[in-house]
Chains A and B, each alone.
Chain A
Amino acid sequence: MIQALSGQLLIGLINGSFYALLSLGLAIIFGLLSVVNFAHGAQYMLGAFVAWMGLQYLGVGYWWALLLTPAVVGLLGVVFERLFLRRLYGLDPLYGLLLTFGVTLVLEGLFQNAFGISGNSYPVPAALQGGTNLGFMYLPRYRAWVVAVSMVVCFGSWFVIEKTRLGAYLRAGTENPALLQAFGVNVPLMFTLTYGYGVALAAFAGVMAAPIYQVTPLMGSGVIMVVFAIVVIGGMGSIVGSIVTGLGLGLVEGLTKFLYAPASDVVVFVVMALVLLLRPAGLFGRQR
């Protein structure tokens, strides 16, 4: 009983770590660029696939993949921002959503063509195999690592944004990009780098996810819709808000799986409906 519950809560915590990483990236991109990056899920998938391909074809191991994949995918994001996304600034933000939706279809279609829809598995790195028995439950080492690293990355990002000079520029850009540019800050470059960072974060989550979930072309789109609901629940106003909501909803999902498994797929959307009824601006948001 307690074992089943804590097992589901652990799964929830791990899912929640991914939700937190992904909604953090979405929130950072949206904050500055006013673009809802629909391709976030596809970029997460891309991260997992680049890591998997690196291992299959080049023999690049997990640790290098964790470092290199976000760089590679983030660079692709930078190119995409420069070539395409840039043209839509100043228009209705809906166009950014639609453009990145198109990108999602292209990426998913391409990978489906190349690899089919069946899953590819990625081995857990040697140093993180095995686990510890905590008495009331068995904790696989890799999963503990995922939760810990996600927390470090999330709170690291929060620290940079809230407490450093670079973060101050970012926050100023979120409030008023034109004024910030008048102060001599290279705002277009900041936009590009911010998008690149958000994308890299998604790819990083993808690499972390590769040993846990199956690497498939469609792994991103299921996750991204849950993350969107989480963003609606939390409101995109605050960084901490998106992290806390991501983790919390992961736990709620785990709990639901324990109580009544068939409802676990929809519980996030039900919570979304409740939040809209009771607190339309989101738990941490301001109405804009």
Chain B
Amino acid sequence: MLAIGLTAPFYVYPVFAMDVLCMALFASAFNLLLGYAGLLSFGHAAFLGAAAYVTGQAVKVWGLPIELGILAGTSVAALLGLIFGALAIRRSGIYFAMITLGFAQMVYFLVLQMPWTGGEDGLQGIPRSKLLGILGLSGNLPMYYFVYALFLAGFWVIYRTIHSPFGQVLRAIRENEPRALSLGYDVDRYKLLAFVISAGLSGMAGSMKALVYQSATLSDVHWHRSGAVILMTLLGGMGTPLGPSVGALIVVGLENYLASTGSWVTVITGGVFMACVLAFRRGIVGEILALVKRSF
């Protein structure tokens, strides 16, 4: 994976590769919540989109350097995650999904109406200033390696979280919440922390995306985006560290490939969604792992 990532911009269009990386980080962060804590958030686009707008505003209007812009986006997303998470974990299962969807819709309307977000146009022309004041990122190649480095950092955080004692407790909660509770774990605090980490890293992905495309648009906060990240995770394999990245590659590739067909993208996305839910719920990586397990 490391080698593919390092050489990718030489055989695919760098902007496409960066888009895949952003979505891969987004889906991996989402997977931390769905795959390991068993919480289905239907509103993760709120964190991605809010961070994209904040980063755009910080870099373009306030003239902050991009490191601080990304930091600002990530922090706002984490803060938003803290607020929404604290409320949403008061209900579980299906209600949790509906609540997060509701909050995301609220963010969508706010972004649509607030004076600084540009309404239907979104934020355009976000500059890619110099990294740390020295390294120019206006070219796609240096930008790619910057995004790749951030992706690896985010992925590493998620990987460490999953394989820490904290991650073990999350899995215990997913498997049997009353038992985890009776063993003395403060279940709500674990869930909330997982939610905040997930929201923060989703925000980081959104900040990166805003810089890659030099714009933040309404589609980043739209519920279609929340659906897309679920699809990436489900298709790649939820609860596997690599699955969401594989899913992101396929979904972003599909969207790019079908972009000229207009609404057929939506139809095909929906169809893939149905096929995943009905036929292979373990996802691609999950099925491969299961196959390997069976044969050895």
Question: Which residues from A are CB-within-8-Å of B273?
Answer: 98-99, 101-102, 105
The reply to whether B94 and A94 form a contact with Cβ atoms under 8 Å apart is yes
Which residue of the partner chain B has the closest CB to A281?
Answer: B91
Bound: A91/B90 CA distance, A: 23
Which residue of the partner chain B has the closest CB to A231?
Answer: B98
Whether B193 is near chain A, meaning CB under 8 Å from some CB there, is no
Contact with B along A92-130 (1 / 0, CB 8 A): 011101110111111111101100000000000000000
Given contacts A99-B274, A102-B274, contact A108 B266 (CB under 8 A): yes
The reply to whether B234 and A98 form a contact with Cβ atoms under 8 Å apart is yes
Min CB–CB distance A166 → chain B (angstroms): 26
The reply to whether B269 and A105 form a contact with Cβ atoms under 8 Å apart is yes
Question: Which residues from A are CB-within-8-Å of B223?
Answer: 221, 225
The reply to whether B277 and A103 form a contact with Cβ atoms under 8 Å apart is no
Question: Which residues from B are CB-within-8-Å of A229?
Answer: 98, 102, 105
Whether B278 is near chain A, meaning CB under 8 Å from some CB there, is yes
The reply to whether B99 and A105 form a contact with Cβ atoms under 8 Å apart is no
Whether A266 is near chain B, meaning CB under 8 Å from some CB there, is yes
Question: Which residues from B are CB-within-8-Å of A110?
Answer: 263, 267
Min CB–CB distance B268 → chain A (angstroms): 8
Which residue of the partner chain A has the closest CB to B272?
Answer: A102
Secondary structure of the B contact surface, majority rule? helix
Bound: A30/B93 CA distance, A: 13
The reply to whether B267 and A36 form a contact with Cβ atoms under 8 Å apart is no
The reply to whether B270 and A105 form a contact with Cβ atoms under 8 Å apart is yes
Question: Which residues from A are CB-within-8-Å of B281?
Answer: 91, 95
Number of interface residues of A (CB under 8 A): 42
Select the stretch in B21-29, B106-114, B202-210 that faces chain A.
Answer: B106-114
Whether A273 is near chain B, meaning CB under 8 Å from some CB there, is yes
Q: Which of B105, B264, B277, B281 has the most CB of A within 10 A?
A: B277
Given contacts A84-B278, A99-B278, A262-B113, contact A113 B264 (CB under 8 A): yes
Bound: A40/B223 CA distance, A: 16
Bound: A113/B261 CA distance, A: 9
The reply to whether B262 and A272 form a contact with Cβ atoms under 8 Å apart is no
Q: Sorted from nearest, which 3 A-B pairs have the closest CB atoms?
A: A105-B270, A102-B273, A109-B266
Query: Can you list 21 A-B contacts with CB-CB less than 8 angstroms, sorted by A residue number?
Result: A36-B97, A88-B278, A97-B40, A101-B273, A102-B273, A102-B274, A103-B270, A106-B267, A108-B266, A109-B263, A109-B264, A112-B266, A228-B102, A229-B98, A232-B91, A232-B99, A232-B102, A266-B110, A269-B106, A272-B102, A276-B99
